Amino acid sequence: MNLRDPQAFSLNRRLFLGTSAAAIAAGAPLAANHSSAGNLGIAPFRFDITPPMGHSLCGGWIKPVEGFDDQLEAIGYVITGLEKPIVVCAVDWTGLLNSAHIAWRTALANAAGTTIDRVAVQCVHQHNAPFACLDAEKIVQAQEGLPHIVEPGYFQQCLTRGAEAVRTALKSTLPLTHVATGEARVDRVAGNRRIIGTNGKVISQRGSSSRNPHHHRLPEGLIDPMLKTVSFYSNEKKLVAAHYYACHPMSYYGDGRVSADFCGLARKQRQEEEPGCTHLYFNGCGGNIGAGKYNNGSKEARVELTSRMFDAISESESQLDRTEIKNISWVTEDILPTVDTDRFNEDLLMKQISDSKQRVVSRNRPSYTVAFIRRIAAEIPITLSGLHVNDASILHLPSESFIEYQFRAQSDAPDRFVACAAYGDGGPWYLPTKEAYPQGGYAVSVAWCRPEVDDLLSRGVGTLLAKAKNA
């Protein structure tokens, strides 16, 4: 296989198992705990992933790139000194799905000298950004008159930049000795998107922005108001600060102006303030969370939301208290959900994709569904992963997971500091809870899995945390 060709990453179970430790030790801890941090190292990296003029945004069903408000970045770190290196990366894209996600993990793994089971790549989920699925790209490009999902040449450029960034960073690896955690309440940003009526059904979606006064009057609903920070140090020097908060990160989009939006802008502001530390932002389990209660979609609102996020990041960091790293481990768990074939039929979806009378969104979006159907048929699992450092656990979860999964993770380990990063492998699209399916609403309509995925994901998260307790 030619690793320089992103199209080579087809949905092939042999490829996945051959490049991951799932073939060796599925679900087992992949790094022994360490009694001291004397042999640990950390190497932060970052690289530009801004799409070129004319490139599709959000899968091709909103306006393509017409200009740039700010650049998109992939930012991460490599931890060395374990059995094999660990790579964690946050990406300013809408999503990375199926073989595109595998391609990113493989490229970063090869550069770091590790395997893809030890690489976590999580998207922030801004919408004026690429929504990359190589499998969907093949499907739509076999049709007439459809825009790209993601242009393969640009996709490959990002992989090349990522590999170069990792290799360069490893040349300047510094000792990793301490970790610190902090958290702060975020003021007036998040609200639950799903408005449930007296009949127990979703009657309205309060999206990322809303000009509906009723949406603004309603309470926030179920959210996690806390922004969490995990920082890594080389003795007294803070080298990495990773921030976690669950909310769709869009103030407005669809105008063709590329932007990391308010969460990315807050991160950039903190980076400018503290250039000696690499700041990362991860979107938590925000599949059913958005800013629509407090955001009317105006340019002024983006400034206000950015300021509130920046304040929370700063406050969270003010709580940091360094402790020497006594133990550290990396664990994984694979899950293989089933597709809801009662609602999603490949033949019918392909007819819809081929129908030139349909709108672009009604043709491009189903290509993601078909890609996932084929992925599950090939039995390519979704990998959950966790980094456990002292009494902190960082979980890397897939797709647009609902906030309930984040709360369950915290409940599963009440004695640990649990930070969740969702929007990893985006293949399943939305991951509601099983209780949400009969309630209906937009998220359920674009959730490719059966409700049983709730049990699979919840057990997987519990297993990751149990491995921390048993280490």
Q: What is the pLDDT of residue 258?
A: 98
Higher-scoring residue by pLDDT: 338, 13? 338
Q: Helix 99-112 vs helix 134-141: angle between axes, to the nearest 10 degrees?
A: 130
What is the structure's pLDDT at 290?
98
Sign of the four-CA dihedral 209, 214, 217, 220: negative
Check whether 4 has a pLDDT greater than 80. no
Q: Domain ranges in the chain? A: 6-470
Closest CA to 302 of 254, 246, 264: 264
% helix / strand / coil in the chain, to the nearest 5?
Answer: 35, 25, 40
pLDDT band at 292 (very low <50, low <70, confident <90, very high): very high
| CA pair distance 458, 467, nearest whole angstrom | 14
- Tell me the C-alpha distance between 46 and 9, whole Å: 24
At 1 the pLDDT is 37
Is residue 101 within 8 A of residue 426, CB to CB? The reply is yes
Do 61 and 360 meet the contact criterion of CB atoms below 8 Å apart? yes
Longest CA–CA span in the chain (Å) reads 63
Q: Does pLDDT of 27 surpass 60?
A: no
Residue 31 exposed, middle or buried by CB count within 10 Å (0-12, 13-18, 19+): buried
Q: How far is CA 180 from CA 183, 242, 322, 391, in A?
A: 11, 11, 5, 10
Q: How many residues does the chain have?
A: 471
pLDDT tens-digit profile of 427-466? 999 999 999 999 999 999 999 999 999 999 999 999 999 9
Q: What is the pLDDT of residues 88-111, one digit of tens each?
A: 999 999 999 999 999 999 999 999
Percent of the residues in the chain that have a pLDDT greater than 70, as a whole number = 91
249 class by beta-carbon count within 10 Å (0-12 exposed, 13-18 middle, 19+ buried):
buried
**pLDDT at residue 18 is higher than 60:** no
Per-residue model confidence (pLDDT) at position 3:
36
Model pLDDT, residue 468: 85
Share of the chain above pLDDT 90, in %: 91
Q: What is the mean pLDDT of residues 311-330?
A: 97
pLDDT higher than 60, residue 195:
yes
Check whether 26 has a pLDDT greater than 50.
no
Calculate the alpha carbon distances from 380 to 290, 347, 444 in Å. 31, 21, 23
Q: What single letter denotes the amino acid at residue 223?
A: I
Within 10 angstroms of residue 38's Cβ, the number of other Cβ atoms is 11
305: three-class secondary structure by DSSP: helix
Q: What is the mean pLDDT of the chain?
A: 93
pTM confidence score: 0.94
Per-residue pLDDT, 6: 46
